[in-house]
Structure formats: structure tokens, C-alpha cells
Amino acid sequence: MEKIELHEYAKGVVPAEVYSSWPSAALEAQALAALTFARFAILHPRHVSQGADLCDSTCCQAYDPAKRSAQTDKAVEAVRDCYIYHVPAGANPIEALYFAHCNGKTRNSEDYDDWRQVPYLRSVPCECGYYDYYGHGVGMCQWGAKIMADQGATSAEIAEHYYTNCKVGGAPEPPPRPAPWWCPYAMAFADWLDKLIACKCRSEGS
């Protein structure tokens, strides 16, 4: 098992999942999906029994740092600290599933192998140029993303096309830390000390 920083991990995922020669917007869309998927897995670990959030196969996301390139590293840096969020919910990154290619439209999540219905994993049209599914067909079509990038779409436009009612945004704010148990006592002591100093000053000035 290996512990690795999130963006360094994504730099090993992107070139393992798509070709480094693809347009920058397609690489950035893949980076967005990879980062978002990984962030979701941190909150909902996929390999609890092994003590791991993710594995390095297509069961989760392919990971091969030996394939890293300047282009794919640049794509990850271009979307650093950006994730895909479902607009109505919006608190946490989505489960950003993706696959190789489809038959002209992606699948609803519940239409594949009795998966659960997910509001942002809806069937959408896709011009990937293939006539069959390679993979589960749910979420972002990688070859479709490449075609959209060829046509001038940005990485955010690609992500927002394949993930229904979603937007790309910055890292989620960490939950507020509860005040320590001694905080009220410290505030009371500070208030008492202020009053004591003020009283002493008035005494010395009189």
C-alpha cells in the first residue's frame, strides 16, 4: 500500500487513462474526473478491508506514474484544487465515473448492472464516434471528451455536459472545528482581566 498526495496521484492516473497527445481540454477534463473521483473515495473508501481508499487498477482508476508526461502533469496543475459538484447538493465532490466510449449516448447509472440511481449520472448524447460500449457507459465518455475538446470545448464544459446539473468549483471548505471546552473560561478570564486593568488604571489616575 502506498500513501500519496492527491495531485501527485492524479498525475499518475491521467496518462494511464488517456493518451498524452490528446487536446489539453480533454486532458484537463480527465484530470478533473480523476481528482473528483479520488476525493469522493477519500470520503467513501472503496477498499476498506485493505485499509485503502483506492486501488491502481480500472476497478477504481488506472495508475501508472511511469507514463507521466509534461502534458498530463500540466493538465493536473491547470485544474489544481478544482472538483466537480452536483449543483443542488454541492457540499462534496461527486462520484465522477468515466469510461472509454459508448454508442452515441451514455447510460443512466441504474441501467447498468443494477447500480443505484444517481441524479448526476444521467444519460446524455455523445459524439464519440463509436457504436458500442467499452466499459460501463456511466458518466464521462473519454473519447467523447476528446471529440468535444477537438471542437473547442473547455474542460469545464466537458465535465458539465457529462455530469448532469454539475459545476466545476474549488476545493470544499473544511468543516468548522468545534471550540475547545476551555474557550468560554478563557473568554471569561480575559474579560475579568480587562476589567481589573481598567480598575487599576482608574485607581492610579485618581
- Return the residue matching grid coordinates 481528482: 35
Q: What long-range pairs does 186-194 form, CB within 8 A, spacing at least 24?
A: none
Q: Which residue in 144, 139, 142, 140 sits closest to 109, CA to CA?
A: 139
Position 25 pLDDT exceeds 80: yes
Position 54 pLDDT exceeds 90: no
Model confidence at 173, pLDDT cuts 50, 70, 90, reads low
Q: Is 70 left (phi over 0), alpha (psi -120 to 50) or beta?
A: alpha
Position 14 pLDDT exceeds 80: yes
Q: What long-range pairs does 113-118 form, CB within 8 A, spacing at least 24?
A: none
Given a contact cutoff of 8 angstroms between Cβ atoms, the answer to whether 34 and 97 are in contact is no
| pLDDT at residue 114, as a whole number | 85
In DSSP terms, which residues pair with 47 in a beta bridge?
Answer: 52
Average pLDDT on 126-150 reads 97
Position 201 pLDDT exceeds 60: no
What is the sign of the dihedral through the CA atoms of 110, 111, 115 and 121?
A: negative
pTM, whole model, 2 decimals?
A: 0.79
Position 111 pLDDT exceeds 60: yes
d(CA 191, CA 200): 14
d(CA 191, CA 177): 23
| pLDDT at residue 118, as a whole number | 96
Average pLDDT on 100-108 reads 97
